[in-house]
Structure 1
């Protein structure tokens, strides 16, 4: 396979780090961006010719063009975009929430994606590239206190649906990684658990205690394979990483 260049947001931890590491090991180029860009220092040392790192908050619109510039100056093209960053906060009931906090959430989870698309769509059209939006079951199911997150993820899914219609030369998919052993799950248990309903508290605590959280590499490696090889009929679809439709792109334990 020809070497490809993929932009990955939220790349310093969890799923984003798993995606980036997998792509680099396969010989591809990665432009990784995260607020905690310093956490990618070790990966940059290991893959200095394949990896470019942009640190910053994706809510700042100019960051998107810095990312595009890093891709084109270092690698000459953009073949894939994985919009993986997200914030869960504010975790608060709607009656107790402030509109300013909801706007901050949407600036990251939704408008940050818009900025990236504005910057990269011309390049992705040229390469007939792929786009993955990291979605969530929260786009379809509501949890007490998660109003801003759920709404922003629902908006992101709608964005992906529209993009697939408007950009027929680009394959756009929304992937639900399920419940994954990441910092977001840790924050749910340690910081936000009291806000949620009792049944949801029990659900998320037991998933951790019973060892039922997915490892970041499980959805991460699937998403890496999809950004490289997805077939055209997947464009416009939303599916879980462990669904039947994703099976051809999942790694099989040997």
Structure 2
């Protein structure tokens, strides 16, 4: 029986790369993104056994649609997220409505989906991945909104790992990558020196395959056999 993974935010960037890597490793996938056309193109690129469900992860009905499409789940990858305003404002002038949206997308929506998927993960001794950032643990000027949201999801992940010892819960820092979101964080700058998302896929696939203990994981530290 194929293992089943739900991957959010899979139409581009890191989410697309991770979903493709899982598909190539033989997983059945349910993927989402907000834009139907982009998601359809992504599903064609991912290939294999993949179901695409377009919608906003903040929408309870969309979350239910993901669960219905999956049927069950061995892995949930909460990758969907937003940066917030670009260029990023200092906390002293950060628009609070924008900050609420950052927390809604990056913290509350992933937790809501996790709550709904947990019964399936428990039944199959599955795993949860919350994508995080070094900004969650480092104080970078101008990153207060995004970083505080990522710090919140990291702490939520740590508590969940303590509460769900039968599962694997990893909060995964992929490193600086050449993605659209990263470009938005540095408008007008050349980020071509950052590696492409595909470069971290072997480490990610090894993580979910070898299933080390729950905890914070930097993909750069995951050893992949030659």
Q: Specify if TM > 0.5.
A: yes
Kept after mapping to 2: 8 A contact 1:82/1:134: yes
Q: Name the counterpart of 1:28.
A: 27
Kept after mapping to 2: 8 A contact 1:4/1:79: yes
User: 3-state DSSP class of the match of 2:165?
Assistant: coil
Cα distance 1:49–1:26, how it changes in 2: closer, same or farther (>3 A)?
closer
Q: Name the counterpart of 1:87.
A: 82
Match of 1:160 among 157, 160, 175: 157
Q: How high is the TM-score relative to the length of structure 1?
A: 0.81
- Equivalents in 1 of 2:46, 2:79: separation in Å? 21
The alpha-carbon deviation at position 16 of structure 1 amounts to 0.7
- Equivalents in 2 of 1:13, 1:134: separation in Å? 15
Cα distance 1:169–1:187, how it changes in 2: closer, same or farther (>3 A)?
same
- Equivalents in 1 of 2:45, 2:158: separation in Å? 37
Kept after mapping to 2: 8 A contact 1:7/1:81: yes
- Equivalents in 1 of 2:169, 2:161: separation in Å? 5
Match of 2:94 among 91, 94, 97: 97
The alpha-carbon deviation at position 114 of structure 1 amounts to 1.0
Match of 1:222 among 203, 217, 220: 203
Displaced runs of 4+ in structure 1, greater than 3 A? 42-49
CA RMSD of aligned residues (A): 2.0
Are 2:218 and 1:240 equivalent residues in the alignment?
Answer: yes
Are 2:49 and 1:68 equivalent residues in the alignment?
Answer: no
Question: Which deviates further from its counterpart, 38-47 or 151-160?
Answer: 38-47
Kept after mapping to 2: 8 A contact 1:89/1:148: yes
Q: Name the counterpart of 2:169.
A: 172
Q: Name the counterpart of 1:145.
A: 142
Higher Cα radius of gyration: 1
Cα distance 1:173–1:39, how it changes in 2: closer, same or farther (>3 A)?
same
Kept after mapping to 1: 8 A contact 2:7/2:19: yes
The alpha-carbon deviation at position 214 of structure 1 amounts to 2.0
Q: How high is the TM-score relative to the length of structure 2?
A: 0.91
**Structure 2, unpaired ranges of 5+:** none
Kept after mapping to 1: 8 A contact 2:130/2:172: yes
Are 2:2 and 1:3 equivalent residues in the alignment?
Answer: yes
Kept after mapping to 2: 8 A contact 1:178/1:214: no
Number of aligned positions between the proteins: 224
